[in-house]
């Protein structure tokens, strides 16, 4: 620890021996004229004769430099230290025994035997030269203090400059008067676990040396009590040289003091009854313990999360580690990846990673520690649908919208959903965006819908962003299955039925508008209505259909209204009235003619009837059908309306009437109406003649199934509605004589 320079002592003895040694006289050389070498690498043994002195040039020293001195003498001498500027005071025979002249901490008078001390150049002085004087003289100005000479002294002397180590806190001589104390060093910080080294060497007295915390020292300095101290670090009654190596513990992070106590001490300690001069060297052996710390939980680190690591909790109160001596190895390859007490690192892939922190102290010692970092994907993806405002689309348009996303590790799958139903998905994502392009169809209803983009990362974490899309209907309903030109009969109810299609609306509102623009304008709701036209001639009606979006479609229909006497034939009620009138006339006429005709023509009619029956049996005729009358208006080729028909006529069996029998086997009779009454009438008049009842037989083909059938028209009936016996198709049959 010490590089020492030994003093080469060259001095001139200012005394003469005479030419004849037998005389025994000496010549003494005055110290004032001595030229001595500067501080060197040599030690010297010499004899210092009585009433002589030697001055040693210590050279120019900077404040804070520390020198060591070793002296071994067999006779009392004075050891004096002067700055170069004050040496002349001593050499001039002036009073030099003053703190203003000499350096009192390094002055030892009447010293004999062996001793060592260290002296630190005062920090309150500029760089200057220094001299050490070894004195064996009686000086008039010393007042009898110190050594006075009287005989020669054999002296062994060494001196040199101390090269203090990096952990030397203090190293110097301390003067402590009776019943007093001095602080060797403090306050100073030290890490627990470090070793405190105290090396004490006394030149005078036998003081005690204590180690105290700052709170202990506060109590000691105010009360003088030594009860508060670290007992395990006591050095009691240092008489010559003592060394203490104490491991620092239980100091609660307080700073410490090393105290030189020259009071009456505790049991076994110093009496403190004489001045003390002791050199105390305080140094440490600091602990090397690299500590890895982080504010993040290293057991749960997210992928790509930047973690800050710190080595600042490592013990370093003694500045044993430079900032450049902290080295981080992230991958265990033995190479430094980062340098400094603070470092940052992030991992891009999940896994368990071992990191190492190595340190090297300023004196070349090294140590290391490791920590384990568990990296997992803890974060969900970030998702954003690129929509700056409301998204409005109409049916038939293409919705095109994009979304961006990111993840700290990687994206596994993206899904676009409308109202929770997936409409597009993709995996093996290489881009950080996704584009949705979908046609808006009638599968969706008009109004607001929830559009979402859900992203799933490689760890299964999901995130979703939502926007509202508004679907609007811009197309009105389409009216189908309705002719634009229909016919109707005045006074006859007509069924009007329409159908409209709108794929975007489930609820359509129908209205039929009559006499639009006139004072008698009216409307009827519903898709199917029954209406009676009261006026002849062409009329326009309007069908109005409105969908849920308020869009309207209208269709104009021309209705040709005819009276019952015009081309379309009698109405249902007209035909019924006509039928009743004819039936009544037949009944009345038959009643009066019955007696007249029945006797006169009985034989003739019977003969003719038998001949006709025989002909009918021989000839196979088409099936005879009932005749019915009703009103009909076609609204479309596939849609028509009908009124229930009323059977008004039945075939009359004339031969049965002539024989006074009822014909109960009339095939097409459906009720017991007027024709049943006619069958029961006695058509024979008073003269015994029979009423000549005329009839028309018409053969027609069905317009629906083309099958032939025969229809019997009573006299005076020109047309009638009937039902085909083969397919039940109801239609109008005209009694055209030219066709018989």
User: Residue 115's domain is classified under what CATH number?
Assistant: 2.60.120.680
> Is 186 in a helix, a strand, or coil?
strand
With respect to residue 548, please indicate whether it lies within any of the assigned structural domains.
yes
pLDDT at 608: 55
Among candidate residues 454, 472, 490, the one where a domain is terminated: 472
Q: Does one domain contain both 266 and 318?
A: no
Q: Does one domain contain both 144 and 60?
A: yes
Say which residue, 647 or 543, is predicted with more confidence.
543
Averaged pLDDT for residues 488-515:
88
Q: Where in the sequence is the domain holding 35, given as residue range(s)?
A: 21-161
**CATH number, position 327:** 2.60.40.10
735 contacts 722 by C-beta, under 8 angstroms: no
704 contacts 602 by C-beta, under 8 angstroms: no
Our CA angle for 650, 655, 661, nearest 5°, is: 80
Q: What is the DSSP letter of 21?
A: G
pLDDT at 677: 40
pLDDT at 37: 53
Averaged pLDDT for residues 499-506:
83
Q: How far apart are CA 61 and CA 51, in angstroms?
A: 30
Q: What is the pLDDT of residues 385-429, one digit of tens each?
A: 998 778 998 888 899 999 999 999 999 999 999 999 999 999 988
Per-residue buried b or exposed e for 538-549, using 16+ beta carbons within 10 Å of the residue's own CB:
eeebebbbbbbb
Least confident of 100-114, 195-209, 695-709: 695-709
With respect to residue 293, please indicate whether it lies within any of the assigned structural domains.
no
With respect to residue 704, please indicate whether it lies within any of the assigned structural domains.
yes
Among candidate residues 516, 533, 562, the one where a domain is terminated: 562
pLDDT at 594: 57
pLDDT at 590: 60
Q: Does one domain contain both 590 and 511?
A: no
End-to-end CA distance of the chain: 154
Q: Does one domain contain both 175 and 246?
A: yes
With respect to residue 15, please indicate whether it lies within any of the assigned structural domains.
no
Cβ neighbour number for residue 711 with a 10 Å cutoff: 19
Among candidate residues 161, 191, 216, the one where a domain is terminated: 161
Say which residue, 148 or 200, is predicted with more confidence.
200
Task: Give the pLDDT band (50/70/90) at residue 106.
Answer: very high
Say which residue, 265 or 58, is predicted with more confidence.
58
Least confident of 58-72, 226-240, 291-305, 725-739: 725-739
Q: Does one domain contain both 259 and 397?
A: no
Dihedral over alpha carbons 72, 78, 82, 85 (to 10 degrees): -130
Q: Does one domain contain both 306 and 281?
A: no
Q: Is the pTM of this model over 0.75?
A: no
pLDDT at 39: 58
Which range has the top average pLDDT, 460-474, 640-654, 726-740?
460-474
Structure token digits, residue 567 = 């081309």
Q: Does one domain contain both 698 and 733?
A: yes
111 contacts 73 by C-beta, under 8 angstroms: yes
**pLDDT > 70? residue 627:** no
Q: Does one domain contain both 656 and 576?
A: yes
**pLDDT > 50? residue 21:** no
Least confident of 150-154, 538-542, 710-714, 715-719: 715-719
Q: How far apart are CA 156 and CA 111, in angstroms?
A: 13
65: CB partners within 8 A, 6+ apart? 120, 121, 161
**pLDDT > 90? residue 598:** no
Q: How far apart are CA 151 and CA 600, in angstroms?
A: 213
With respect to residue 41, please indicate whether it lies within any of the assigned structural domains.
yes
With respect to residue 305, please indicate whether it lies within any of the assigned structural domains.
yes
Q: Does one domain contain both 577 and 721?
A: yes
517 φ/ψ sector (left φ>0, alpha ψ -120 to 50, else beta) = left
**pLDDT > 90? residue 371:** yes
Q: What is the pLDDT of residues 51-80, one digit of tens each?
A: 888 888 888 999 999 999 999 999 999 999
pLDDT at 176: 96
Q: Sort 120 into a burial class: Cβ within 10 Å, 0-12 / 13-18 / 19+.
A: buried
pLDDT at 507: 87
Q: Does one domain contain both 687 and 577?
A: yes
Q: Does one domain contain both 624 and 724?
A: yes
Question: What does the radius of gyration of the chain's CA atoms come to, in whole angstroms?
Answer: 70
Helices (H) and strands (E) in the chain, counts: 6, 46
pLDDT at 199: 97
Q: Does one domain contain both 275 and 368?
A: no
With respect to residue 592, please indicate whether it lies within any of the assigned structural domains.
yes
Q: Sort 289 into a burial class: Cβ within 10 Å, 0-12 / 13-18 / 19+.
A: middle
Number of domains in the chain: 6
With respect to residue 322, please indicate whether it lies within any of the assigned structural domains.
yes
Say which residue, 593 or 106, is predicted with more confidence.
106
Averaged pLDDT for residues 437-450:
89
**H-run or E-run covering 572:** helix 572-600
Cβ neighbour number for residue 262 with a 10 Å cutoff: 26
- Give start and end residues of each alpha helix (H) in 601-661: 602-618, 654-658
Tell me what percent of the residues of the chain surpass a pLDDT of 70: 74
């Amino acid at each position: 620890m010490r590089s020492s320079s030994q003093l080469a002592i060259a001095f001139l003895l200012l005394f003469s021996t005479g030419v004849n040694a037998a005389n025994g006289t000496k010549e003494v050389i005055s110290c004032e004229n001595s030229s001595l070498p500067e501080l060197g690498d040599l030690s010297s043994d010499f004899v210092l004769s009585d009433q002589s002195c030697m001055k040693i040039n210590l050279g120019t020293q900077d404040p804070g430099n520390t020198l060591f001195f070793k002296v071994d003498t067999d006779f009392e001498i004075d050891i004096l230290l002067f700055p170069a500027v004050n040496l002349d005071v001593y050499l001039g025979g002036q009073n030099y025994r003053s703190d203003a002249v000499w350096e009192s901490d390094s002055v030892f008078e009447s010293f004999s035997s062996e001793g060592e001390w260290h002296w630190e150049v005062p920090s309150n002085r500029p760089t200057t030269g220094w001299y050490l004087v070894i004195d064996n003289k009686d000086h008039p100005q010393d007042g009898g203090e110190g050594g006075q000479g009287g005989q020669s002294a054999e002296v062994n002397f060494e001196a040199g400059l101390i090269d203090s180590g990096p952990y030397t806190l203090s190293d110097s001589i301390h003067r402590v008067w009776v019943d007093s104390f001095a602080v060797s060093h403090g306050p100073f910080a030290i890490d627990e676990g470090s070793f405190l080294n105290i090396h004490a060497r006394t030149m005078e007295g036998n003081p005690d040396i204590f180690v105290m915390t700052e709170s202990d020292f506060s109590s000691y300095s105010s009360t003088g009590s030594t009860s508060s101290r670290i007992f395990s670090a006591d050095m009691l009654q240092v008489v010559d040289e003592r060394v203490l190596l104490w491991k620092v513990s239980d100091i609660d992070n307080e700073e410490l003091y090393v105290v030189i106590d020259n009071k009456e001490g505790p049991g076994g300690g110093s009496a403190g009854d004489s001045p003390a001069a002791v050199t105390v060297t305080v140094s440490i052996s600091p602990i090397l313990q690299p500590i890895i710390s982080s504010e993040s939980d290293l057991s749960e680190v997210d992928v790509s999360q930047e973690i800050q690591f710190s080595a600042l909790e490592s013990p370093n109160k003694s500045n044993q580690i430079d900032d450049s001596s902290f080295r981080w190895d992230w991958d265990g390859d033995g190479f430094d990846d980062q340098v400094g007490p603070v470092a940052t690192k992030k991992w891009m892939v999940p896994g368990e990673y071992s990191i190492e922190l190595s340190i090297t102290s300023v004196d070349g010692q090294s140590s290391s520690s490791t920590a384990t970092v568990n990296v997992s994907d803890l974060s969900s993806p970030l998702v954003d649908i690129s929509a700056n405002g409301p998204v409005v689309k109409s049916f038939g348009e293409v919705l095109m919208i994009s979304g961006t996303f990111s993840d700290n590790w990687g994206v596994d799958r993206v899904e676009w959903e409308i109202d929770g139903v997936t409409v597009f998905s993709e995996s093996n994502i290489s881009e950080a965006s996704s584009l949705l392009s979908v046609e808006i169809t009638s599968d969706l209803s008009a109004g607001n819908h929830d559009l979402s983009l859900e992203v799933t990362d490689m760890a299964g974490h999901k995130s979703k962003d939502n926007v509202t899309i508004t679907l609007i209907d811009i197309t009105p309903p389409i009216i189908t299955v309705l002719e634009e030109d229909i016919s109707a009969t005045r006074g006859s109810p007509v069924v009007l039925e329409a159908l409209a299609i709108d794929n975007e609306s489930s609820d359509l509102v129908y209205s039929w508008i009559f006499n639009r623009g006139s004072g008698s304008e009216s409307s009827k709701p519903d898709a199917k209505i029954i209406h009676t036209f009261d006026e002849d001639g062409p009329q326009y009606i309007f069908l109005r259909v409105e969908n849920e979006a308020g869009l309207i479609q209208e269709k104009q229909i021309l209705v040709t209204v005819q009276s019952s006497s015009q081309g379309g034939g009698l109405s249902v009620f007209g035909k019924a009235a006509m039928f009743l009138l004819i039936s009544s006339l037949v009944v009345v006429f038959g009643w009066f003619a019955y007696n007249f005709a029945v006797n006169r023509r009985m034989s003739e009619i019977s003969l003719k009837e038998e001949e006709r029956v025989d002909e009918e049996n021989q000839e196979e005729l088409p099936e005879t059908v009932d005749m019915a009358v009703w009103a009909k208006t076609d609204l479309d080729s596939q849609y028509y309306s009908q009124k229930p028909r009323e059977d008004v006529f039945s075939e009359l069996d004339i031969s049965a009437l002539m024989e006074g029998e009822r014909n109960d086997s009339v095939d097409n009779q459906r009720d017991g109406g007027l024709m049943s009454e006619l069958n029961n009438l006695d058509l024979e008049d008073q003269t015994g003649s029979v009423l000549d009842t005329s009839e028309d037989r018409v053969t027609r083909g069905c317009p629906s199934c083309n099958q032939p059938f025969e229809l019997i028209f009573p006299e005076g009936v020109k047309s009638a509605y009937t039902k085909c016996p083969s397919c039940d198709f109801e239609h109008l049959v005209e009694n055209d004589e030219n066709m018989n």
